[in-house]
């Protein structure tokens, strides 16, 4: 054991601190690079909103115009255009009500309360969601506490509309983010987490270590956040391509992600069921044929191949082939004999492989047929699919792909 007070221990401590500092700096630099595009959009939008409100509309101090533009851009990342429109409308409602109340009855504690109540009620009356209600109330508070009653009631209302419109203009037409780049950045951690989780399950199952499998289950549960970010990026990119002519050329490659995002989310959920059953099978000391963890490992490789082929814009042929190999191996495991939980694992591998095939563009009806052909069950009688003494029709081992 190294003494922390010795020169060697001190050197090791300093090395660890230096490594953590370098890692933190690298992560910070990565975050800065990711924020550069948004920062550029926000800067251009803020300046343009001020110019339009001040120089074109003659507003002496249109500070709500750049504020609304920046809020629009910052809140629209990964969200739908409807959300952005709600936010812009909320700013306008809050400012309009705040201006009107202050002009009519002055400012003070009870006026602030009245402004907030009115803003929320109006936002709710127009059918707004949470972003609209919250933004209406907060904008009304800003007006009631930070601004004077000089000027016409609609002046800052106009500022907010100008700023919101400029934000949408910059986001969709002037400086649209590359939707393909955004989606690829969101898809990579999601697919990597799924592939790594499958490989960890395979290692734990092969070694008979339930703790390794439980660790994989925790990681796969945490991966739900990355898949949610992936889905949000796909939705935002779809709209970005629809509204930004400069990005229309990205429609083709982007289609792979758009069509596959939901199916991969289904695959993640099926893999989590698989993982729970793998831990149960080990705890119950069920027989685990060697080909079963191999099947799961192959499926993890298929997910990783899909990530690589999508990133290169290639047809995911290799991912399909590896996924079907995984299905074939799980069929062999079923024939060799599995317990109750093992039958569930086989069924979930089949289902998850079907999800992945559909994510690669295979038609809904064709994907399960391909899985059955890979296993060979389409050429055998129904009774031949049963593991002797293990499962019966209607059991998890017979769960359709």
Residue 392: predicted pLDDT: 35
pLDDT tens-digit readout, 370-389: 999 999 864 444 444 444 33
Q: Is 188 exposed, middle or buried (0-12, 13-18, 19+ CB in 10 A)?
A: middle
Eight-class DSSP state of 387: P
Domain map of the chain by residue range? 37-174, 179-398
Question: Is 347's pLDDT higher than 80?
Answer: yes
Burial of 270 from C-beta contacts in 10 A (0-12 / 13-18 / 19+): buried
Structural tokens at position 322: 């590896």
Residue among 360, 337, 363, 215 at smallest CA distance from 279? 215
**Residue 341 tokens, joined:** 């939980």
Task: Supply 61's token pair.
Answer: 């101090």
**Helix, coil or strand: residue 230:** helix
Cα distance from N-terminal residue to C-terminal residue, the chain: 54
Indicate the Cα dihedral angle 16, 20, 21, 24, nearest 10°: 180
pLDDT score of 248 more than 80: no
Q: Mean of the pLDDT values across residues 89-103?
A: 80
Checking if the pLDDT of 22 tops 80, the result is no
pLDDT value of position 134? 79
Mean pLDDT value of segment 56-72 = 84
pLDDT at 219: 95
Name 31's Cβ contacts closer than 8 Å, sequence gap at least 6. none
Closest Cα partner for 258 from 369, 182, 175? 182
Nearest Cα to Cα of residue 349 among 372, 375, 330, 370: 330
Report the pLDDT averaged over residues 137-156. Answer: 66
For every residue of 43-92, DSSP letters joined together read: HHHHHHHHHIIIIIS--S--THHHHHHHHHHHHHTTS-HHHHHHHHHHHH
Give me the pLDDT at residue 382, please. Answer: 45
Angle between helices 64-76 and 81-105 (to 10 degrees): 150
Mind listing the pLDDT tens digit for each residue in 164-208?
Answer: 889 878 877 776 767 778 888 889 999 999 999 999 999 999 999
What 8-state DSSP symbol labels residue 388? T
Report whether pLDDT(316) > 50. Answer: yes
Asked if pLDDT for residue 23 goes beyond 70, the answer is no
Confidence (pLDDT) at 111: 82
Predicted confidence at residue 3, as pLDDT, reads 52
What pTM value is reported for the model? 0.66
Architecture of domain 179-398: Up-down Bundle (1.20)
pLDDT digits (tens, 9 = 90+) for 27-62: 667 567 666 777 888 899 999 999 999 899 888 888
Query: Closest Cα to residue 132, out of 94, 165, 86, 95?
Result: 86
Tokens (6 digits) for 120: 């929320």
In whole angstroms, give the CA distance from residue 341 to residue 282: 9
- The dihedrals phi and psi of 4, each to the nearest 5 degrees, come to -65, -25
Q: Is the pLDDT of residue 268 over 90?
A: yes
CA-based nearest residue to 348, from 287, 288, 280, 400:
400
Q: Evaluate whether 142 touches 119 at the Cβ level (below 8 Å).
A: no
pLDDT for the residue 209: 96
Residue pair 40/73 in contact (Cβ under 8 Å)? The answer is: no
Residue 27 structure tokens? 């992560």
Q: How far apart are CA 379 and CA 398, in angstroms?
A: 16
Torsions phi, psi of 216, nearest 5?
Answer: -65, -40
Q: Name the nearest CA neighbour of 371 among 315, 336, 325.
A: 325
Q: For residue 77, what pLDDT is reported?
A: 54
The torsion angles phi and psi of 306, rounded to 5 degrees, stand at -60, -45
* pLDDT, position 320: 97
Please say whether the beta carbons of 196 and 297 come within 8 A. no
Q: CA–CA separation, 167 vs 71, rounded Å? A: 8
How does the average pLDDT of the chain come out, rounded?
80
């Amino acid at each position: 054991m190294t003494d922390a007070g010795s020169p060697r221990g001190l050197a090791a401590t300093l090395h660890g601190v230096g490594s953590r500092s370098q890692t933190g700096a690298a992560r910070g630099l990565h975050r800065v690079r990711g924020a550069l595009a948004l920062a550029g959009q926000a800067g251009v939008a803020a300046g343009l909103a001020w110019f339009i409100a001040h120089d074109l509309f003659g507003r002496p101090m249109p500070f709500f115009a750049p504020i609304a533009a920046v809020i629009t851009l910052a809140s629209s990342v990964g969200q739908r255009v409807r959300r952005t429109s709600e936010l812009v409308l909320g700013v306008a409602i809050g400012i309009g009500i705040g201006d009107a109340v202050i002009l009519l009855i002055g400012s003070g504690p009870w006026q602030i309360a009245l402004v907030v109540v009115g803003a929320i009620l109006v936002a709710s009356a127009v059918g707004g969601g949470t972003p609209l209600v919250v933004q209406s109330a907060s904008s009304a508070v800003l007006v009631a506490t930070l601004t004077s009653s000089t000027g016409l009631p609609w002046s800052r209302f106009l500022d907010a509309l100008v700023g919101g419109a400029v934000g949408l203009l910059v986001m969709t037409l002037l400086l649209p983010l590359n939707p393909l780049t955004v989606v690829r950045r969101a898809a990579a951690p999601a697919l990597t987490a799924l592939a790594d989780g499958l490989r960890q399950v395979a290692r734990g199952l092969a070694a008979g270590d339930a703790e390794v499998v439980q660790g994989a289950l925790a990681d796969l549960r945490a991966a739900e956040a990355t898949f949610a970010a992936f889905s949000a990026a796909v939705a935002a990119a779809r709209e970005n391509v629809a509204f930004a002519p400069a990005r229309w050329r990205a429609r083709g490659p982007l289609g792979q992600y758009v069509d596959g995002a939901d199916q991969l989310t289904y695959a993640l959920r099926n893999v989590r069921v698989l993982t729970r059953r793998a831990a149960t099978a080990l705890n119950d000391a069920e027989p685990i044929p060697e080909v079963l963890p191999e099947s799961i490992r192959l499926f993890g490789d298929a997910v990783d191949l899909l990530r690589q082929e999508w990133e290169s814009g290639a047809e995911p042929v290799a991912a399909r082939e590896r996924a079907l190999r995984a299905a074939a191996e799980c069929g062999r495991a079923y024939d060799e004999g599995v317990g109750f939980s093992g039958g569930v694992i086989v069924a979930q591998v089949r289902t998850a492989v079907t999800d992945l095939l559909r994510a690669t563009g295979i038609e809904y009806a064709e994907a399960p047929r391909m899985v059955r052909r890979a296993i060979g069950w389409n050429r055998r009688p129904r009774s031949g699919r049963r593991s002797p003494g293990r499962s019966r029709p209607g059991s998890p081992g017979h769960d359709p792909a």
